[in-house]
Amino acid sequence: MSGIAERLTAAVGAEQIVTDPQVMGGYSHDEAEWADHALPAAVVRPRHTEDVAAVVRVCAEQGVAMVARGAGTGLSGAANSGRGWVVVSFERMNRVLEVDPVQQTATVQPGVVNDALRERVARDGLWYPPDPASAAWSTIGGNVATNAGGLCCVKYGVTRDYVLGMEAVVGSGEVVRLGRTTAKGVTGYDLCGLMVGSEGTLGMVTEVTLRMLPLRTGTEHTVVGYFDSLAEAGRAVAAVSAAGVVPSAMELIDRFCLQAVDSWKNMGLSAEGEVLLLARSDQPGAAGEQEADLVLECFRAQGAVYAVRSTDAEEAEALFEARRLAYPALERLGPLLTEDVCVPKAKVPLMLERIEQVGERFSTHIGNIAHAGDGNLHPLFIVPAGDEAAKKRAQEAFEVIVDEAIALGGTVTGEHGVGLLKMRGAAREMGPQVLAMHRAVKNALDPAGIFNPGKVFSLD
C-alpha cells in the first residue's frame, strides 16, 4: 500500500479505500478514446460529505492530485486519473435527499443516476429536463461537472440552467454551500454557476439542489424527414429556426450511423435516405399540431426525399431510441473518437459541409449525429484497431474540425467538456486574456493545485 493510501485509510477507514490494481484500472479513465490515463494510487468510495472533506485535506497536505468520478461515461478524458493520483468515486453517494413539490426542486447526492432522478420526481408530478444520451447510466455529479446537455437542450437548456445550489468541498478541505434553494436570489458572485462545467478543477461537489419543471403529460408530435445530403438536412434545420419554431428536440443521424444501429438492432432505418432528421413538438393541443406541420413544411421545402408526421407513438419513440443507440452501435465497429463542436444554428449547413470536406481531405470516414436544433454536432471518427496511420489522420481531422467550428463563430465543446482532448482548441477559443482569468480562478479556489490538474487548460 502506498503512503497516500495509508493516510487515506487512517482518515476514512479501509472499507472506503481500493488499492487493488485490477479494480483501480476500471476507475482510471472515462470513455474518451485516446485520452491519456494512468493507474491511481488509490480509489476512494465515500459515503458522506465528511469523508470527502477528509480525503481533500489529506491530498492537500501531501500535494497529491485527485479527480472526481461519476459513472465514467464522459467523452473528453475529464475523469481520467494521472499516475499516483487519488480517484474519488461517488457511486455510494447516490441518494435523492429531498423532493419539494411546492418549490419544485430536488436535492440529490452526486452519484444519483440521471434517469433514476427523473423517475423519482415524476411521482411528485415533476420533470428534470437535461437528458444526455447516457442518461440511463450517467450521474448528476458528472452531468454537473461537464454541464451536460442532451436531446431536450434545444428548448429546455443544459444542466447549468437547473442547478440552483450545491454543497462542495473546496481546496482547504472546508465544506461550503453555494447558490440558493429559493426561486430567486442574486447575492454575490454566481459561484455555484462557476462550479457547473468546471470539470472537477475547482472542488468536489457533494450535494446538488436542482430546479424541476412540471411533468409533461401531453402528446408529443414527431416529424420524420430523410434527406439526400448533410447540407440539405442542415438547411432544413436552419429553416425551422428561421420559421420561429423551437422544437422540444431536433436530432440528426446520417446513414452510416443508421446502418450501424440497423446491423445491431435490426430496426430497418437506413433505407430511405442519406440523413435522417427527427423533430418533436411538445406544445399542447392544436398548437403542437400546428408547430409540427410547420416543421414538416420546412423539411419538404428544403428537399426532403421523404417527410411525414408520425402517428404511431411507439414508432416515434423507437426513432429517438435509435439516436441514443448510435454511439454504442458505432463503438462495436472499432475505436471511436467523438467530436462535440457547436456552431450558430444558421451555420449548421456550412459546418456539416466542412465536416464532409475534412473527412475527404484526411481519408477518414466520419459519421454524423447531432443535436441539430441547437447547432451541437457530434462527428464520429471510427478507426480500425491497430491502424496507427488511420488513427493519426483521424486525430488531425479532429483538430481541423475544431478550428473550423471556431472560424464559424462556434465553440469547441457544446456539452462533453474540454477535459484532455480539447485543450488546444479551448485555448484558441478563449484567447490569452480569458485563459489567464481561468488560471487566476483556479489558483484562488485550488491553491494546492490538487483538483484535476492539467485538464481544461494548462497551468503554465
22-54 tens-digit pLDDT: 999 999 999 998 899 999 999 999 999 999 999
Q: How far apart are CA 96 and CA 119, in angstroms?
A: 11
Q: How far apart are CA 343 and CA 38, in angstroms?
A: 34
- Average pLDDT (405-412) is 98
List pLDDT tens digits, range 121-167.
999 999 999 999 899 999 999 999 999 999 999 999 999 999 999 99
Q: How far apart are CA 10 and CA 321, in angstroms?
A: 47
In this predicted structure, the answer to whether residue 315 has a pLDDT above a threshold of 90 is no
In this predicted structure, the answer to whether residue 355 has a pLDDT above a threshold of 70 is yes
Q: Is 158 helix (H, G, I), strand (E, B) or coil?
A: coil
Give the per-residue pLDDT at 334: 81
Band of residue 327 on the pLDDT scale cut at 50, 70, 90: confident
List, in order, residues 6 or more apart from 270 with CB less than 8 Å away: 255, 258, 259, 261, 262
Q: Which helix (H) or strand (E) holds 326?
A: helix 313-331
List pLDDT tens digits, range 157-200.
999 999 999 999 999 999 999 999 888 899 999 999 999 999 99
List pLDDT tens digits, range 224-266.
999 999 999 999 999 999 999 999 999 999 999 989 988 898 8
Q: How far apart are CA 167 and CA 170, in angstroms?
A: 10
Whether the Cβ atoms of residue 273 and residue 227 lie closer than 8 Å to each other: yes
In this predicted structure, the answer to whether residue 1 has a pLDDT above a threshold of 70 is no
Give the per-residue pLDDT at 147: 97
Which residue from 339, 345, 350, 109 is spatially nearest to 244, judged by alpha carbons?
A: 345
Q: How far apart are CA 178 and CA 168, in angstroms?
A: 8
Q: How far apart are CA 203 and CA 196, in angstroms?
A: 11
Number of CB atoms found within 10 A of residue 404's CB: 19
Q: How far apart are CA 133 and CA 13, in angstroms?
A: 36
Give the per-residue pLDDT at 211: 98
The reported pTM is 0.94
Please, how many CA atoms are within 13 Å of residue 153, restricted to the half-sphere of its CB? 23
| Percent of the chain clearing pLDDT 70 (strictly above) | 99
Whether the Cβ atoms of residue 353 and residue 231 lie closer than 8 Å to each other: yes
Strand partners, 411: 342
Band of residue 218 on the pLDDT scale cut at 50, 70, 90: confident
Q: Which helix (H) or strand (E) holds 281?
A: strand 275-281
| CA angle, 276 then 225 then 297, to 5° | 150
Q: How far apart are CA 165 and CA 167, in angstroms?
A: 7
In this predicted structure, the answer to whether residue 317 has a pLDDT above a threshold of 90 is no
Helices (runs of H) and strands (runs of E) counted in the chain? 14, 19
- Average pLDDT (413-427) is 96
Band of residue 460 on the pLDDT scale cut at 50, 70, 90: low
List pLDDT tens digits, range 285-305.
899 999 999 999 999 999 999
- Average pLDDT (429-437) is 96
Give the per-residue pLDDT at 459: 66
Q: How far apart are CA 62 and CA 53, in angstroms?
A: 14
Give the per-residue pLDDT at 263: 87
